[in-house]
Amino acid sequence: MTTSAIEVKAKKTSLLKIRMKKMRSNKLATIGLLVCIGMTLLSVFAPFITSYDPAQMNLSNITQAPSAEHIFGTDKLGRDVFAQVLYGGRVSIYVGVLSALGGTIIGVLAGAIAGYFGGKIDSILLRFSEIFMTFPQLILVLVLVSLLGQGVNNLIIVFVITGWMTTFRLVRNEFLTVREETYVSVCRSFGIPTSSIIFKHMLPNTMSPIIVAFTVNVAGFILAEAGLSFLGLGVPVTTPTWGNIMNAAQSIDVVTNYWWLWLAPGIAISLFVLAINFLGDGLRDILDPKQ
């Protein structure tokens, strides 16, 4: 290994240590990371944590309050609410993360191209995003859901189509600023390929807003899925999600007399959304090259 390679490796190690130290010093970000990992692992390993099937009905145990046997109680069909929350987290987190990832990829690609090249390409992409932003997002989501139908994958497609504009504008604005930097001009003068300039040199300097947008989108899509499922327009009711569990709380009788049916999924949604927002804020400060 050459001396220069050793120096580069040492710098990367030193930078990683600095970032890890900043992460540990940010209590909210650390708590958010632990909560996100913990809730995700609980959902993934749900079959090893509870012996109950979330779809198994037991009419002799309907609307049972929380107890040692059913720690979150049972619903109106005798299903274990704790099992439903665990298995429901699988779908809700899956929808939120995959939708945010798809929207972020589209937004980053479109924003990088628009911000780097400018001119007509920038104008076309900007007008295209404005067309999507003209319609209220909820209305656009409802229209697309009615066209594509209910389903987990269809809901992800709908969220990706309607959720890339914020990331696009953030990345575009960052690239419009970064492309005027000296190192970009130097890269051009040395004949470095455009794709390499965009993705290897400019994109790493715009990661902070991208990460923040991604975490915000994950939280937003989880809430959107819960809202649509609560209205009966999201994931089919046969699929356990946090929103579908809360669907039972539409009745005032449930809200007043069977509080455990909506409190458990409500806490799960609130906790995960808060945790991922805390994590996003922490990562923004840690990865920002200006810090």
Residue-wise pLDDT for 71-97, tens only, equals 888 888 888 888 899 998 988 999 999
Residue-wise pLDDT for 7-65, tens only, equals 445 555 666 677 677 777 778 888 988 999 999 999 999 888 888 888 888 878 888 88
DSSP-assigned states of every residue in 54-91 = TT---GGGTTPPS-SSSTT-B-TT--BHHHHHHHHHHH
Position 97 scores a pLDDT of: 92
Write down the H helix ranges in 1-51.
3-25, 27-44, 46-49
Position 285 scores a pLDDT of: 74
Q: What is the mean pLDDT of the chain?
A: 83
Domains in the chain (CATH in brackets) are: 20-287 (1.10.3720.10)
Whole-angstrom distance, CA of residue 227 vs CA of residue 231: 6
The 8-class DSSP code of residue 50 comes to -
Are residues 210 and 170 in contact, defined by beta-carbon separation less than 8 angstroms? Answer: yes
**Mean pLDDT by 10-residue block, N- to C-terminus, for the chain (291 residues)?**
49 64 79 91 90 82 83 85 90 91 92 88 88 77 79 86 88 87 84 85 83 87 85 79 80 79 88 89 71 56
Whole-angstrom distance, CA of residue 247 vs CA of residue 261: 9
Whole-angstrom distance, CA of residue 117 vs CA of residue 27: 40
